[in-house]
Structure 1
Amino acid sequence: MTAPRVPGQRAIIDRRELAERIAALADEKGGEARPQVVEALRGALDRARAELARRLAEKPSAGHDCAAGHAFLIDQLLRVIHDYVTGYVYPAANRTSGERLAILAVGGYGRAEMAPHSDVDIAFITPTRRAPWCEQVIEAMLYLLWDLGLKVGHSSRTVSDTMRHAREDLTIRTALLEGRLVWGDGALYEELRERFWKEVAKGSERDFLTRKLAERSQRHKRMGDSRYVVEPNVKDGKGGLRDLQTLYWIGKYMHRVETASQLVDVGLFTRSEYRSFRRAEGFLLAVRCHMHVITGRAEDRLTFDLQREVAAAMNFAERPGKSAVERFMQYYFMQAKRVGTLTGIFLAHIDDEFARTTTRSGFFAGWTQRPRKLKGYMVEGGRIRAPGDDWFADDPVRLIEIFQLAEAEGLEIHPQTLRQIDRDAKHIDGSVRSDTRANALFLDLLAGRNDPETALRWMNEAGVFGRFVPDFGRVNAQMQFDMYHHYTVDEHTIRAIGLLSQIERGLLENDHPRATREIHKVGSRRALYVAVLLHDIAKGRGGDHSVLGAEVAQNLCPRMGLDERETDLVAWLVLHHLLMSSTAQKRDLTDPKTIEDFVGEVRNLDRLRNLAILTAVDIRAVGPGVWNSWKGQLLGELYDASAERLRLGHKEKGRKQRVGVKKDAVRALLGDRATLVDEVGAKLGDAYWIAEPEDIIARNLVQYAEARAIEDRLSIHCEVDEERGATLVSVIAPDHPGLFYRMAGGIHLSGANIIDARIHTAASGYAIDNFLVQDQHGGPFREDGQIARLKKGIRDALAGTGSLVPKLAARPLAHSRAKAFHVAPRVDFDNSASNRFTVIEVTARDRPALLNRLAHALYEANLIVQSAHITAYGESAADTFYVTDLIGSKVTAPERLAEIEARLLEAASDRRQEQLEKS
């Protein structure tokens, strides 16, 4: 293998001039020349890197040129270093046959694909073991390379040892596959190559393929198993450079091709596919090179902060509705998607090759499965294929039909047919999109009974989905630049459809029992599937995607064959798809007005069922760990309360009746301690009894009685609540101003996140406050050490031990990457959401002690917090407070609201956080 030609080589590094300068130094200073030699080499390296960085800035998408330029630079340095060491450090006038050395570039360096700070992978090949001269030369070369700050991966072996290790170790075998002679003994290198193909590669092709694919699968799992994760690893992630390299390795191992372009000659790629290969590879290499230049180190993870800088470096500009970074990442994901398509086609062809060359033996010798026909298609070995090359061009509706058949029959699509689909997708035009049969087939696929997710993903990868539904094509590979959404919009949508299908098939009953039960009662299952498809269809258009998406639904649903009633339902679901999650997570569900307002918008049970199911799959499809039992609990409470109201048409019971019923339920839970309901419960007003669930009231009453019996002025009880997926922290203490903000600070200092809080004051003057808290991973605090830390944090905070504010500001946020985002603080007041309280919602960038600072601002504004509901959306937080003034009234005066808003904005600002961190 030879390195690609690099233009303007001498402007990068002039090897002859550098060698002459080093020779002059060696002649002048002899054995003391080493420091000056290192300095000369370092100067050449720095100037070359600067020149290559300049070229990259000038041509920011020239990934191949940049990578080849860095490989060329290392080649020249290695040659100069070798000649200096063998000529001046360890000169050998008459070398023996054992004193020969070949220097090979292996791995990415061998392929001449190096980012600015890539490892330098070298294999030193010698004829025999323990040749002293060779060992001295290798050691001296390595020390010089290390002195230059290069990260060197190296091996030193004989040809025979190399063959033995290559047979045993897949990594070594892969590295050698790309071995390239940089300098030294050419005959030794040729011997190595010949023996590698003869002794290692021959006959082991299937083994290499199997192990490489297993290695690839394990790598994908480590990296998130999706090419659409929002902080992708450019090198090792799914759809990254390593996937393209894997194709080349397999192709080279099986067909002994020297360059990727020869994959066309052996039939593994068409010329068009190879151009896609080169385009994707060049772009990914350019992105990786920019990341190395920007960070000054070997960085392969495209983090949020880097995304902005790389987008700017690659000259991506802002467009209406889309920022520069979103446009850059959309293009990135389009390339990653193309890598996935190429991988599928390539591997299926390899599989076909093996199938053709595998000889059956025993009972099945000479037997082959007979193909069958399915609506004109051929089906063989579980794969469906087109019967001819013009099949789709003759009737483009078949481009939809084949995916519908694959889903309905549980078939894969033949790789040759996938190639045809990819080529002929351009035939999908307005006439196909308006074709009644095409739309009926698409709807059958979308609401398929088997596995619509997989078939839709194939359709998307093949470029058919976006052409048939252009609005979906607009969100294809579109990322959402935040820390909440884990996937691109199209991937999120397809995952949500898959989750809906799994719920309908009863596969997620443990996590979603209510949705599993209610999905079979919806008026139109196909309308629900279309609503899931369209719920985020209008993202990136520069307006409210719910409103714009409802407009898309009104136009698209009739085209798909939905009637007027179904169309109205889909449009309503898209318009309000965030209503249920927002209400459940940000509002007090024990406040009757919350349920009244929600039911007033929903209006009927069928809408409620559809919305509840859509909400569940939407949240769960955001990413791993986003759905949890606490969210399930909140949505369940909202659903049950709303369903009751819709069925009865009114509140089942008045205030006194509701309190009476709840007291009876608590008595039943307390058993022989039921008298506590009258003894302790009498000190608590109706608001407490309505706000708290029966099980928490029972715990509070027992805790209050026991705390008063031992005259404990501060009682803290922590208990894991499995049903809510959190730890319940109940604090009983003498009420005083500022109690809530101090407790919030103490809880945060212990490492816990508050997800819900209710604050009550008994007639005795004691506060009974209930918090639900989780750890940084969204789970309950379980360990004894965690619980002890939680209690100590609250006690210290209430006792005033030390200053809370500096400690809280110094505590690192679990998501320090949030600093890559700007979230403008916002304060919203709502005096219609509750009959008794003013509801204040504060949205801000999540950071240490945000809740504590907001609670302190409310305290300084002379407000009483009755309940707090905390919701995190990646880098941003939405904290909702139900408050009254000091006499228990709502806050309505405009000047008073303006004062409160100013205090909260100051507490939530990034500037305030910076001041606290400095102090």
Structure 2
Amino acid sequence: MIDLKKIIDIYPDGKKQAQTLSLETEKLILSMIPEKANYTLIAVGGLGRNEQGIHSDLDLLFLIEDWKYEKEPMEVLRKFWDLDLKLGYSIRTIENVFQHAREDITFFTTIIFTRLLYGNSEFYEKFLEAKKAFFFKNRSFLFTSIYPELKKLSYIEKDRTILFNQPQLKNGFAGLRGFQTVKWFLEIYPEYRELEQTDSYQKAAQSYYFLWAVRDLASFLTERSISQLQIEILEKLVVYFGFKKLFEAEEFLMKIFHSFSHIYDLLLLLKEKMEKDLPMKKNLFSFFKRKKEDTQITVVNNKVFLKEESVENYLQAVLYAVRTDFELSESLIKKAQLFFSEPISLNPAEKEIFKDFFQLESKLYPAFYYLHIMNFLSAYFPEYKKMIYRPQLDFYHSFSLGQHSIITLKQISSLYQKEHPFFSKILRELSFEEKETLIYALLLHDIGKIMEGNHIHNNQAIIDSILSPLPLSLSQKKDIAFLVIQHLVMANTCQRKDINRIKTILGFASEVHSPKLLKLLLILTIADIQAVSDNKLSSFMESSLFSLYLKTNVILSGKQEEQGLFEEERRQIEDAVSKDFPDKKEKIMALFPEEYFIEIDNQEIKKDIQIIETYDSYIDIQKEQDILKFKYYGKDEKGLLSKIVAGFTLNHLNILDSKVYTLSNGMVLDYFYCNPLLENLKDPGEEEKKNLRKQILTSVSENKSHNIQLFANKLYYWAKKANLVEIETLIELRKIEENLYYLFITARDFPGILYFITDFLKENSFYIIKAKINTVGLRIYDAFYIRSIDSSQNINEEEIKEKLDFLIKDLKNKFELK
């Protein structure tokens, strides 16, 4: 058999790997063919191109002169199958080959490159002559098959197409298949071969063989043919290359993104040349408009063109395009990318035009996206260029670093377009200078990730030098620096702390300093969170941010004394309860803790009261977008939360958020927001809901939590996908008042971790008063307010923290998270 490891070790270059494996494969094939056979064996597909991939199919064509020899190749095919070789084969006459090629574009492309492996050379020459005549007569079949796909490609969509953290190496149009498409086309249309002399082709060829080597190695390590670089495959590559840090893995993935970019650029160039040869259509110039007699801008077919290049003209072209809902032409974008390949500084006239961009409101995102793909932003602050192709392997962000940053502006445009009762109002009331400050901060808030290490510390180290040459006032630069350095503080406060405690609000207010920065930080936080995966803000986080903003603003604006911070909010709550429940106001206000009314809206309160008045124990299940919302109502008892959590885990439900309320009547009302790990639970019917209620209630009553370890170990994919990311465990435990402690834990998430934490608290005689559970990507942020069951017990805080730390480390080892 072929020594694949030897080929990889000796030939790191993808081209040499492909050629060597093709040669070794050819030797293997010939060693199994009898001396005399009534067929001619031809290498097609990858083997025909002399590019055999590791664990890829062997593409073979058995050419026979007469159908009476059809069964003869089966003898050698059985030998191949005995060796577990993957085959893509066909047995055909010459006439049948081209009859099938007329009908199937995949087979058509498979026979473009062929090589004789065995048989009658004269018969093979006859095949080649027939192939040459066939392709000359039918080559338009390839043109009409390729062009519709190429037509979809554009400079505008390039980044959105290629920048995925689990890239498609083989079949994506910017991957191996893209370059192979160009090679097919040039073989059938030799008049386009001047393309091979271009810089774009040379870069794409180098990228192609780099991607080939990556795919070969991935296929070797996984012992199967790889098309997509999924998380577990990337992990194997990281181990193979000996990367010790996430930053190194991201650098490696950046090379893949750049390779995609070169192949995509070549496809765009081919598209451009193909379009020049398309027959002219009568309505091609159905719309032609010159903006003004003295302008450099023209519009053809709703696409904006530029006559003369300059920074001012490019900025004007973008403004004109977004204001009129036209598109920038491909040629304009392509020229702009070259024009802005070097750093720039704006003259006074250009600065004035650039200021118009910050007032575009709903058109803000398309305008800055054009600046992004034209390389203007990279030329304006060169550090931005390092963000564009950098992946974010934290399994939290869906987009690359550059894409995430620019998509934050999409969220701002959305706030202008879709009226939000509170956040949109704040945004619209910002002054021009505040809007400008906000947009700069959004574009640069993750700039520290271009360097190794903690990106907040990096932000602090480099932001002043980035802002220094920009045409901004000193106060603006100071505010942008604050927002960039502190962009996580508002989200972290909501996720990690009790925002209903006066000390939390006072601490947060002392970090923010002013009502102006509070407003900007609020909008920045909303845009940043939503740009993680281009999704809507969760209702839980939205209400938390809203409440934190209101309370902090009261202090920073000096509208109210600190001790009266919650009086107005409580009065509004009481008015709402009186309106909806006039006869039960006092009873209801006494039953629930105050934060319940702050965090839960009136419609949900009505439903909760109906549950309380109807049932002794109940579980309500509702679908909200892609998650399931559970309400658990029942009698409070020691270790109840750990039993409930065990019920969720055993039923393939991963808890993302929770709100835990202890009522004055000795009952609990707990909200859980869960991600279903099984497909049939993502939109459960009434029967599935009934079974879930039964199983969770059974878990609570029978305490089936001993099954957790066995169950969680079976979730192999969850454990393995986290290995790339080193997430530090942090534990905070402090005494708030007599026999009341605050416990905060941030650590790597995995199935059942909440159960193990709550069970630990139960076993150590702690009673959970309140819990705030939050999961972001692969990290948990869990906060608990706990009391000791024995109020006279002397709590050793350091000892509890050490035990918890040991518990989590032990769990990591058990789940193979090393």
TM-score band by shorter chain is 0.7 to 0.9
- State the secondary structure of the residue aligned to 1:815: helix
Q: Which residue of 1 aligns with 2:806?
A: 906
Which of 588, 599, 612 lines up with 1:704 in the alignment?
612
Matched, 1:54 2:9: yes
Alpha-carbon shift at residue 626 of structure 1 (Å): 7.7
CA drift at 1:290: 1.0
Q: Residues 315-394 of structure 1: matches in 2 within 5 Å?
A: 323-354=247-278, 358-361=279-282, 375-376=295-296, 380-383=300-303
What is the DSSP-based 3-state SS (H/G/I as helix, E as strand, rest coil) of the residue aligned with 1:104?
Answer: strand
Aligned 8 A contact 1:478 1:488 in 2: yes
1:592 CA displacement: 4.4
Matched, 1:738 2:639: yes
**Are the structure 2 counterparts of residues 823 and 132 from structure 1 closer, same or farther at C-alpha, using a change threshold of 3 Å?**
same
CA-CA distance at 1:702 after TM superposition: 3.6
How far the C-alpha of 1:298 sits from its partner, in A, is 0.9
What CA deviation, in whole Å up to 9, does each residue of 1:341-382 have, x standing for no partner?
33333323322332xxx1445xx6999958887744665455
Q: Does the CA-based 8 Å contact 2:628-2:676 persist in structure 1?
A: no
State the Cα distance separating 1:820 from its structure 2 match: 2.0
Give secondary structure in 2 for the equivalent of 1:531: helix
Q: Deviations over 1:196-241 (max 9, x none)?
A: 2233214x46522344448989xx99xx963221121211236322
How many Å apart are 1:396 and its aligned residue?
7.5
State yes or no: 1:132 paired with 2:68: yes
TM-score by length of 2: 0.86
| Runs (5+) with no aligned partner, structure 2 | none
Amino acid at match of 1:482: D
1:414 deviates by 5.5
1:412-561 matches, cutoff 5 A: 421=336, 425-426=340-341, 428-429=342-343, 432-433=344-345, 435-436=347-348, 444=356, 465-504=377-416, 506=417, 508-509=418-419, 514-524=422-432, 525-549=435-459, 552-557=462-467, 559-561=469-471
Q: Structure 1 CA distance, aligned partners of 2:802 and 2:618?
A: 34
Secondary structure (helix, strand or coil) at the match of 1:485 reads coil
Moved more, 285-294 or 412-421: 412-421
SS in 2 for 1:480: coil
SS of residue matched to 2:785: strand
CA drift of 1:170 comes to 2.5
* Identity value in percent: 20
- Asked whether the equivalents of residues 58 and 86 of structure 2 are also in contact (C-alpha less than 8 Å), the reply is yes
Q: CA deviation at 1:757?
A: 3.6
- Counterpart for residue 144 of structure 2: 207
Inter-partner Cα distance in structure 2 for 1:696 and 1:50: 61
With over 3 angstroms needed to count, the CA separation of the structure-2 counterparts of 1:188 and 1:882, relative to structure 1, is farther
Counterparts in 2 of 1:539 and 1:191: CA distance versus 1, 3 Å? same
Q: Residue type of the partner of 1:338? A: H
Secondary structure (helix, strand or coil) at the match of 2:111 reads helix
One of 232, 236, 239 as aligned partner of 2:167? 232
Supply the distance in 1 between the matched residues of 2:243 and 2:729 (Cα, whole angstroms).
Answer: 29
Decide whether the 8 Å contact of 1:122 with 1:154 is kept in 2: yes
- Classify 1:660/1:616 alpha carbon distance in 2 versus 1 (closer, same or farther; 3 Å): closer
- Asked if residue 588 in structure 1 is aligned to residue 498 in structure 2, the reply is yes
Given that 1:680 and 1:705 are in contact with CA atoms closer than 8 Å, whether structure 2 keeps it comes out as no
| Deviation for aligned residue 1:747 | 2.3
Matched, 1:570 2:480: yes
Structure 1: gaps of 5 or more residues: 1-44, 92-98, 258-262
Structure 1 residue 877 corresponds to structure 2 residue 780: yes
Q: Specify whether residues 900 and 183 from structure 1 end up closer, same or farther in structure 2 by C-alpha distance, changes over 3 A only.
A: same
Q: Which amino acid aligns with 2:811?
A: R
- Structure 1 residue 851: deviation in Å? 0.5
2:701 is matched with which residue? 799
Query: What letter is aligned with 1:66?
Result: Q
* Cα distance in 2 between the residues matched to 1:818 and 1:70: 31
What is the CA–CA distance in structure 2 between the aligned matches of 1:501 and 1:688, rounded to whole Å?
33
After superposition, give the CA deviation of every residue in 1:664-705 in whole Å (9 maximum; x if it has no partner): 53353346xx44x55576566667667765555544444333
Deviates more, 1:698-707 or 1:406-415: 406-415
SS of alignment partner, residue 177 of structure 1: coil
Counterpart residue number, 1:37: none
- Could you tell me which residue of structure 1 aligns to residue 796 of structure 2? 896
Q: For residues 624-652 of structure 1, what are the alpha-carbon distances to aligned partners after superposition, in whole Å with 9 as ceiling and x for unaligned?
A: 55854444444344445555666644579
Q: In the alignment, residue 740 of structure 1 is paired with which amino acid?
A: L
2:656–2:675: 8 Å Cα contact kept in structure 1?
Answer: no
1:845 aligns with 2:742: no
Query: 1:126 Cα deviation (Å)?
Result: 3.6
CA contact (8 A) 1:349 1:415 kept: no
Structure 2 vs 1, CA of residues 371 and 194 (structure 1 numbering), >3 Å: closer, same or farther?
farther
1: CA distance, partners of 2:262 / 2:353? 26
Cα distance, 1:397–1:655 mapped onto 2, change above 3 Å: closer
Match of 1:748 among 649, 666, 681: 649
Contact 2:623 2:683 in 1 (8 A): no
CA distance 1:559–1:181, change in 2 (3 Å)? same
Q: Is the 8 A contact 1:116 1:292 kept in 2?
A: yes
CA drift of 1:165 comes to 3.0
Match of 2:233 among 306, 310, 326: 306
CA distance in structure 1 between the aligned counterparts of 2:315 and 2:22, rounded to whole angstroms: 46
* Closer/same/farther in 2, CA of residues 559 and 917 from structure 1, 3 Å limit: closer
Q: Residues 178 and 406 from structure 1, CA distance in 2 versus in 1: closer, same or farther, beyond 3 angstroms?
A: farther
Q: How many residues align?
A: 805
Per-residue Cα deviation, 1:45-103 (whole angstroms, up to 9, x for no partner): 334x34313313xxx3x011111222222333334444x1x52xxx5xxxxxxx6x443
Letter in 2 for 1:240: G
Deviation at 1:405?
Answer: 6.5
- Number of the residue aligned with 1:106: 44
**Per-residue displacement from partner, 1:761-808 (whole Å, max 9, x unpaired)?**
4555x2313122223379987532443343233322322354244355
d(CA) in 2 for partners of 1:491, 1:663:
45
Match of 1:96 in 2: none
In 2: Cα distance, 1:444 partner to 1:654 partner: 40
1:774 counterpart = 2:674: yes
Distance 2:791 2:380 in 1: 58
Letter in 2 for 1:105: A
Structure 1 residue 333, shift from structure 2 partner: 1.8
For the structure 1 residues 480 and 370, does the alpha-carbon distance in structure 2 shift closer, same or farther, using more than 3 Å as the test?
A: closer
How has the CA–CA distance of structure 1 residues 199 and 420 changed in structure 2, closer, same or farther, with 3 Å as cutoff? same
- Higher mean alpha-carbon deviation, 614-623 vs 644-653, is at 644-653
Structure 1 residues 792-871: aligned runs within 5 Å: 792-802=694-704, 803-810=706-713, 812=715, 815-821=718-724, 823-829=726-732, 838-871=741-774
Measure, in 2, the Cα distance between the counterparts of 1:720 and 1:421.
50
Residue type matched to 1:900 in 2? I
Instruction: Tell me the TM-score normalized by structure 1.
Output: 0.77
Cα displacement (A) at 1:281 = 0.8
Pick closer, same or farther for the CA change 1:859–1:50 going to 2, 3 Å: closer
Mapped pair 1:71 → 2:22:
yes
Shift of 1:118: 1.0
